[in-house]
Amino acid sequence: MTTSYLFAGFGGQGILFAGKLLAYKGLTDGKNVSWLPSYGPEMRGGTANCSVIISDDDIGAPIVLEPDVLIVMNNPSLDRYENDVVPGGTIYVDSSLIGRKVNRTDVNVCYIPATALASEKGLDGLANMIIMGKLLSDEDQLGGESLEKALKKCISARHADLLKSNYDAMMLGSQQ
Amino acid sequence: MTIFEKPHSLVDIPLHYCPGCTHGIIHRLVAEVIDELGIEGTAVGIAPVGCAVMAYDYFACDMIEAAHGRAPAIATGVKRADPSHIVFTYQGDGDLASIGTAEIVHAAARNENITVIFINNAIYGMTGGQMAPTSLVGQVTQTSPYGRDPKLCGYPVRVCEMLSELEGPEYLARVTVNSVANVRKAKKAIKKAFQNQIDGKGFSLVEVLSACPTNWGMTPEKALEWIDTAMIPYYPLGVYKDRSAESEAKA
Amino acid sequence: MADKVLMKGNEAIAEAAIMAGCRHYFGYPITPQTEIAAYMAKRMPKIGGTFLQAESEIAAINMVYGASAAGVRAMTSSSSPGISLKSEGISYIAGSDLPAVIVNAQRGGPGLGGIQPSQSDYFQATRGGGHGDYHMIVLTPASVQEMAELTIHAFDLADEYRMPVMILADGTIGQMMEPVSFDFDIKPAPEKPWATVGTGMKRPHNVVNSLYLNPAELEQNNFDRFKRYEIIAEKETMYEEFMTDDADIVLAAFGIAARVSRNAVLAARKEGIKAGLIRPITVWPFPKAPFAKAADHCSSIISVELSMGQMIEDVKLACECRVPVTLCNRVGGMIPTPNQILDAIRAAAKGGK
Answer for the pair C309, C284: CB distance below 8 angstroms, yes or no.
no
C120 and C10 within one domain:
yes
* pLDDT for the residue A40: 62
Q: Does C176 sit within 8 Å of A41, measured CB to CB?
A: no
What is the average pLDDT value for chain A, to the nearest integer? 92
According to DSSP H, which parts of B52-179 are helical? Answer: 55-58, 71-81, 93-94, 101-109, 150-153, 159-164
Q: For B141, which DSSP code?
A: B
Task: Tell me the chain B residues in contact with residue C24 when contact means C-beta distances shorter than 8 Å.
Answer: 77, 80-81
Q: How confident is the model over A136-149, as a mean pLDDT?
A: 86
Mean pLDDT of C269-276: 98
Taking CA–CA distances from A31, the nearest residue in chain C reads C179
Q: What is the pLDDT of residue C1?
A: 43
Q: Is the pLDDT of residue A45 over 80?
A: no
C198–B76: do the CB atoms touch at under 8 Å?
no
Question: Across chain B, what does the average pLDDT equal?
Answer: 96
pLDDT in tens, B15-29: 999 999 999 999 999
Residue A73 predicted with pLDDT over 50:
yes
Q: Which residues of A touch C266 (CB under 8 A)?
A: 60
| Total domain count, chain A | 1
- Tell which of C235, C259, C274 closes a domain: C235
- Do C217 and C335 reside in the same domain of the chain? no
Substitution target in C63, C88, C210 with the highest count of B β-carbons within 10 Å is: C63
**C127 and C257 part of one domain:** no
Farthest CA pair distance, chain B: 57
Q: What pLDDT was estimated at residue A157? A: 82
State the average pLDDT over residues C174-200. 96
Please give the Cα distance from A112 to A130 (Å, whole number).
Answer: 8
Q: Comparing A140-144, B153-157, B175-179, C225-229, which segment has the lowest mean pLDDT?
A: A140-144
* CATH number, domain containing residue A98: 3.40.920.10
CA gap C353, C348 in Å, rounded = 10
Residue B129, pLDDT > 80, answer yes
Q: Do C344 and C273 fall into the same domain?
A: yes
- Note whether C301 and C342 are same-domain residues: yes
- Residues A36, C176: C-beta atoms closer than 8 Å: yes
Calculate mean pLDDT across residues C242-270.
97
Residues C266 and C164 in one domain: no
Question: Which residue from A23, A37, A65 is facing C175, i.e. has the nearest CB?
Answer: A37
Apex CA B225: angle with CA B223 and CA B228, to 5°? Answer: 120
| Interfacial residues of B (vs C; Cβ cutoff 8 Å) | 11, 40-44, 46, 53-54, 56-57, 59-67, 70, 73-82, 85-86, 102-103, 105-106
DSSP for A25-79 reads HHHHTT-EEEEEE---S--SSSEEEEEEEEESS-------SS-SEEEE-SHHHHH
Of C197, C205, C211, the CB nearest to B82: C197
Domain of C154: which CATH number? 3.40.50.970
What does each C-alpha distance from B67 to B73, B93, C99 come to in angstroms? Answer: 10, 14, 17
**Residues B49, B52, B54: CA angle, nearest 5 degrees:** 90
Contacting residues of A for C178, CB less than 8 Å apart: 33-35, 59, 62
Higher pLDDT, B247 or B119: B119
* Spatial distance between the Cα atoms of C7 and B31, rounded to a whole number of angstroms: 52
- Which residues of chain B lie closer than 8 angstroms to C58, CB-CB? 70, 73, 102-103
Q: Determine the Cα–Cα distance for residues B215 and B55; give it in Å rounded to an integer.
A: 20
Residue extents of the structural domains in chain B? 23-250
Range with the poorest average pLDDT among A145-159, B124-138, C19-33, C313-327: A145-159
Q: Could you tell me if C253 and C273 lie in one domain?
A: yes
Torsion of CA B23, B27, B32, B38, to 10 degrees: 160
Residue A128 domain boundaries: 2-174
Question: Under 8 Å CB-to-CB from C43, ≥6 apart: which residues?
Answer: C14, C15, C18, C49, C51
Structure confidence by residue, pLDDT tens digits, C73-122: 999 999 999 999 999 999 999 999 999 999 999 999 999 999 999 999 99
pLDDT averaged over every residue in chain C: 96
Q: Which residues constitute the domain of residue C300?
A: 239-350
Q: What is the pLDDT of residue A60?
A: 95
Rounded CA Rg of chain B:
17
Mean pLDDT to the nearest integer, A137-155? 86
Residue A66 reports pLDDT greater than 90? yes
B70/C62 touch (CB, cutoff 8 Å), yes or no: yes
What per-residue confidence (pLDDT) applies to A144? 79
Chains B and A touch (3+ CB pairs under 8 A): no
**Helices within C33-104 (DSSP H only):** 34-43, 57-69, 80-95
- Nearest beta carbon to residue C338 from set A34, A37, A61: A61
Q: What is the predicted pLDDT for the residue at B2? A: 76
Please report, rounded to a whole number, the percentage of residues in chain C having pLDDT higher than 70: 99
Q: B103–C207: do the CB atoms touch at under 8 Å?
A: no
Domain count, chain C: 2
What is the tens place of the pLDDT at every residue in C114-131? 999 999 999 999 997 899
Chains in contact with A, counting 3 or more C-beta pairs less than 8 Å apart as contact: C
Q: Does the predicted interface ipTM exceed a cut of 0.85?
A: yes
User: Residues of B with CB below 8 A from C207's CB?
Assistant: 56-57, 62-65
Angle between helices C9-19 and C34-43 (to 10 degrees): 40
The answer to whether residue C350 scores a pLDDT higher than 70 is yes
Compare all CA atoms of chain C with the CA of B105 and give the residue at the minimum distance.
C55
Pick among 3.40.190.10, 3.40.30.10, 3.40.50.300, 3.40.50.970: CATH of B23-250: 3.40.50.970
User: C340 CB near a chain A CB, below 8 Å?
Assistant: no
Chains touching B (3+ CB pairs < 8 Å):
C
Chain A residues touching C6 at Cβ < 8 A: 20, 23-24, 27, 33, 35, 153
Chains A and C touch, contact meaning at least 3 pairs of CB atoms under 8 angstroms apart: yes
Total residues found in chain B within this entry? 251
Tell me: do C288 and C159 sit in the same domain: no
> Is B118's pLDDT higher than 50?
yes
Mutate: best of C64, C208, C213, partner B, most B CBs <10 A: C208
Give the number of other CB atoms < 10 A from CB of residue B217. Answer: 12
Judging contacts by C-beta atoms under 8 Å, the chain C residues touching residue A40 are 115
Considering only residues 71 to 130 of chain C, which have any Cβ-Cβ distance to chain B shorter than 8 Å? 71-72, 74, 88-89, 92, 96
Q: Which of C66, C205, C211 sits opposite B74 (nearest CB)?
A: C66
Taking contacts as CB-CB distances below 8 angstroms, the residues of chain A near C172 are 36, 62-63
A31-45, A159-173, C129-143: segment of lowest average pLDDT: A31-45
pTM of the model: 0.93
Residue A44 has pLDDT above 80, yes or no: no
Looking at C220, C235, C250, the residue that finishes a domain is C235
Question: C68 CB near a chain B CB, below 8 Å?
Answer: yes
Residues in contact with B120: Cβ distance below 8 Å, sequence separation at least 6, in sequence order:
B92, B93, B97, B134, B159, B207, B208, B209, B210, B231, B235
Confidence class of residue C353 from pLDDT cuts 50, 70 and 90?
A: very low
Residue C197 shares a structural domain with residue C280: no
Using the predicted structure, report yes or no on whether residue A163 has a pLDDT greater than 80.
yes
Indicate the residue of B54, B64, B76 with minimum beta-carbon distance to C63: B76
Instruction: Choose among A20, A36, A61: nearest Cβ to C175.
Output: A36
In whole angstroms, what is the distance from residue C278 CA to residue C305 CA? 13
pLDDT beyond 50 at A118: yes
Letter for the amino acid at C183? D
Q: How far apart are CA C89 and CA C58, in angstroms?
A: 7
pLDDT tens readout for residues B193-248: 999 999 999 999 999 999 999 999 999 999 999 999 999 999 999 999 999 998 88
